[in-house]
Amino acid sequence: MLKGKTAIVTGASRGIGKAIALSFAENGADIAVIYAGGETAAAEVVEMANAFSVKAMSFQCNVADFTQSKKVCEAIVKEFGKVDILVNNAGITKDGLMLTMSEADFDDVINVNLKGAFNFTRHLTRYIMKSPHGRVINISSVSGIAGNAGQANYAASKAGLIGFSKTITRELASRGVTSNVIAPGFIETDMTAVLPEAIIERVKSTVPLKRMGKVEEVAALALFLASSAASYITGEVIRVDGGMLT
């Protein structure tokens, strides 16, 4: 499905990013695994991807750093020769009520989740435009659509990704590049694993399907959007939330 394509996935050492990277690799794409601090975890993802007989490499990067991101993007292009698919998935949370949220916590989340996506897209646009199969996929959240108490920073960053992606759609569509957003709901990840069971059960009760989603279910949508089957889909925001916002 993606044989001969080169994909970059930020935040790919765990969770949704890892699932997307491995799904792409399983379907033939060469993979650049971007990670912030989990070197061992990133190396494991590379090893798992290589088992699918594709080229996979990991690159450490603080996606919020414009200059560092540029250097890493240049290194990726040097190693792989081209870029077809970019998945902006890297994200952090620093939750807190508006009344007590610090400026640093607001800035940190915006810088990683939103500016990080800008940095990688900005540095890779010229290469993605050259691809006959250009794809940009931004991983947002249902919080970016509906908001969420205690997540002013996170919700703002994820809402920003939606506007960012729609702008990419208008700017790059003439070059055949598609840009879409995936908005996951309550997904089983390392972030949700630390939540108290009572909170997990309460949130699940608000989901019509009455369960948490799996990272593989998000990755399946990313794979579709990255494929030729989705070549006429762009500017969309697609929820993977079990009907949570219905």
Active site residues: 154
Q: Please, what is the angle between helix 152-172 and helix 103-110, to 10°? A: 30
142: its two tokens: 């249902």
151: its two tokens: 């997540």
Specify the pairing of strand 6-10 against strand 135-139. unpaired
The residues facing 30 across adjacent strands are 6
Closest CA to 20 of 76, 81, 78, 86: 86
Backbone angles phi, psi at 4, to 5 degrees: 90, -5
Angle, vertex CA 114, rays to CA 20 and CA 236, nearest 5: 60
H/E run at residue 199? helix 197-204
Residues in the chain: 246
Closest CA to 218 of 3, 26, 21, 5: 21
Report the distance separating Cα 155 and Cα 141, nearest Å. 8
Contact by Cβ (8 Å): 25, 33: no
Contact by Cβ (8 Å): 241, 182: no
87: its two tokens: 């998945």
